[in-house]
Every structure is written in C-alpha cells, then in structure tokens.
Structure 1
Amino acid sequence: MNEEPDPDAVAAALLAGFSTLVRRVRQTPVESGLTMPQRTALGRLARLGPTTASALAREVQITAQAMGATLGVLRERGFVERSPDPDDGRRMLLSATDAGLQALRDKRSERVELLSRVLASDAFTPAELAQLAAVAPLVERLAERI
C-alpha cells in the first residue's frame, strides 16, 4: 500500500539538502570577485530593475549604510549606475550596467560549471540525472510560492 508522503518530512529533507548544497556552492571560490552582498545587490537590481538604494536595502533586509557601502563598490567597478528618478528629481535610481549583468552571468556560469562537473562525474547514474532534471521545475515552483 502506497502511503502519501508526509509534507513535514519532505520539507525537512528538502531544506537540509538544499541548505548544504547552497552553502557548499557559495563557499567554492569563483573568479568574478563579487562578494555575497555585492552579488545579492546586483542580482536584485537585475531582477527588479531600477530602484533606490533604500528600497534595495529594505528588499534584502540590511541597513541603508551597509547597502550604500556595497553599492559604492559596485559603482566604482562600473557594475551599477545612478540616474535621476523621472518621478522625483530629488531621488536617484540605481540600475545594473551591462558590465554588472555580465559579471553576474560569469559568476552563475562558474557555479553552473561546478555543478555540471559533479553531475557529469560517476557520482550519478543516468536515471538519477533524469530524476534531478525532473525535480528542478518543482523546486523552482516551490521557491516561487514561498
């Protein structure tokens, strides 16, 4: 007789597995040189589009001062640019530059290559790779609903 999976047990197993995966991927050095706060800020700008520094700080739940320091470095590197807010000329909007978007793509590519090397090794059978491929859209949908 097939029992329905226990949502609590599935949630605990997924959280444990994904937490370990994310932690290990983040700990692996990559060449782009973006720190975690820089990557977070740049990634949010890429997804959200132009926004203010204070709105970005609220979005990622850090202080405006910490966000200001992060954005300052990103601006110096040419990854973020400022422009006047068309609705309120007193405010400045920040947006990711083409160089910033490329830095994000490069970092993602390095991390994808890392995972791909492990998946292509003899650590996983073809059937297991198929299972991972099938679950990926489900994980995405789970993340979107949180």
Structure 2
Amino acid sequence: MSKNDSPVEVDALHAVAEDLRVVIGKLRRRLREESHVGDFTPSQTQVLGLLEREGPATVTALARAHGVRPQSMGETLSVLKAAGLVSGTPDPTDGRQTVLSLTPAFRKKIKASRAARQDWLFRTMQTRFSATEQQQLAKGIALLKRLVDS
C-alpha cells in the first residue's frame, strides 16, 4: 500500500475475500470441465499431481506426503494403475519397493488437458474482454501472484 492509499473498510475487504474465494472455486470447476482428463477422486488427483510435479516415488513416500497409511495409498494407486495412468518399476536401491511414475500416455493426456484449458481461457478473454479489460486482468493476475506467494 502506498502513502496515498486509504485502507479498505474491514467489512468490504471481508466481502472481497469471500467473492474471490467463490470466483476461484467457479473458475477451478470450469477449468476442470474444459480439461477432459476424466473424473478422479481428490486423493487420486493429489497423487497424480504429486507424481507429475515431484517425479517418481514409492508408495511409502506418497503416503507420507499425503498423511495416509501406505495401505490406503496402495488402494488409491491400484485404481490408477488399473486405469493405465501410473506404472511401477522395482526400486534400484531396495528391491522390496516399487517406484511409481505417470505413464507416457497419461503425461500426453495431461499436456493436452493443459492446452485445452489454456485455449479456453485465451479464447474467452479474447472474445469477452476489451483491450482495457485484458490489461486490467493482467494487473489482477500480478496481484493474485503476490497473494499466493505471501
């Protein structure tokens, strides 16, 4: 906030926080609709996201990351394996463990899903917003990045 900025009334800021939460939820749902990846449970989505971001992992490491028992994680992974989304190879340092990773076919599907969501956002912003609104949106994104990084 600069010296010339006056603080927003507390009630108004609460309303902005609520509106932001609701809008982000709706945007997430809309992007999920545009993704065409499939229906996954929250646990499955978390595991797939972790494997994509962090790379291959064991059942134990995934269970620890999600705060669940390895047996529970095993159940989640068995569904993902059966669907052809995750595959496993023996751990080179501990033959009792399996290192799990996303299948190449699912990585390709993730890439296509991201492209579909980005294309929807681009087309929607291009057709529904004026040039001035597009610039305002870009500034708003910079503010959202600061919010997320706080």
* TM-score tier after normalising by the smaller chain length: 0.7 to 0.9
Larger Rg: 2
Structure 2 distance, partners of 1:43, 1:73, is 15
Mark the runs of 5 or more structure 2 residues left unpaired by the alignment.
none
Q: TM-score, normalised on structure 1?
A: 0.72
How far the C-alpha of 1:144 sits from its partner, in A, is 4.5
Separation in 1, partners of 2:124, 2:55: 34
Is the counterpart of residue 142 in structure 1 residue 150 in structure 2?
A: no
Bigger shift: 92-101 or 57-66?
A: 57-66
State the percentage of identical aligned residues. Answer: 36
What's 2:132 paired with?
A: 127
How is 1:91-110 mapped onto 2 (pairs within 5 angstroms)? 91-110=97-116
How far off is 1:46 after superposition?
0.9
State the Cα distance separating 1:117 from its structure 2 match.
Answer: 2.4
Q: Is 1:39–1:104's contact at 8 Å kept on the other side of the alignment?
A: no
Structure 1 vs Structure 2 CA RMSD: 3.0
Q: Give TM-score, length-normalised by structure 2.
A: 0.71
Q: Distance in 2 between matches of 1:67 and 1:114?
A: 34
- The within-5 A match list for 1:24-43 is 24-26=30-32, 28=33, 30-33=35-38, 35-37=40-42, 38-43=44-49
Q: Matched residues in 1 for 2:38 and 2:149: separation?
A: 28
Size of the aligned set, in residue pairs, is: 143
